[in-house]
Amino acid sequence: MNAPKIHNVLFLCTGNSARSIMAEAIMNAQSAGRMRAFSAGSQAVGQVNPHAMALLQRNHYRTDGLRSKSWDEFAAPQAPVMDFVFTVCDQAAAEACPVWPGQPISAHWGVPDPAAVRGDDARVQRAFADAFSVLSRRISLLLCLPIDKLSRLALTQEVEKIGLALPDTL
């Protein structure tokens, strides 16, 4: 019997320091090996936001190997072929993305940028926790889909719906 396909998922953001990094870690943990997640940025800042890293560690997610990187890394010929590509911030949704080999299913799953929040530590922590919660719920919804049984059109519609749901309706 054939082993089930492991789907590659790329989460994109502008800086690849918080939201896309958290999504990568969440997907890799929640998918139980059914999906392999990556993250990248259009203008990667080169380091993971310490609040994102601390939140992942507090929630017992693996953080080894997480790094801020350019999306050019995943447009290169030797890069893994993506099955899904999700933008998780408004800036990346408006940017011209590279052409991804294999024509992955894409959707915008915008999440407010917790790294842009200013104020006391409690406010910043809350912003990161909110982003983490939204990403975690959306990833859970994706993982509940019968991916291998849906047509490409139906799957595209479902992942788009997940991204359109407001955080309080997830």
- Is 144 catalytic? The answer is no
- Are the CB atoms for 85 and 95 separated by under 8 Å? no
Return the number of other C-beta atoms located less than 10 Å from residue 67's C-beta: 13
Tell me whether strands 84-87 and 105-108 are parallel, antiparallel or unpaired: parallel
CA–CA gap between residue 30 and residue 71 (Å, rounded): 23
Token pair in block for residue 86: 């999700």
Among 79, 97, 129, 150, the active-site one is 97
Among 9, 10, 12, 13, the active-site one is 13
Among 37, 44, 56, 89, the active-site one is 89
Token pair in block for residue 13: 């953001």
Where in the sequence numbering do the catalytic residues fall? 13, 89, 97
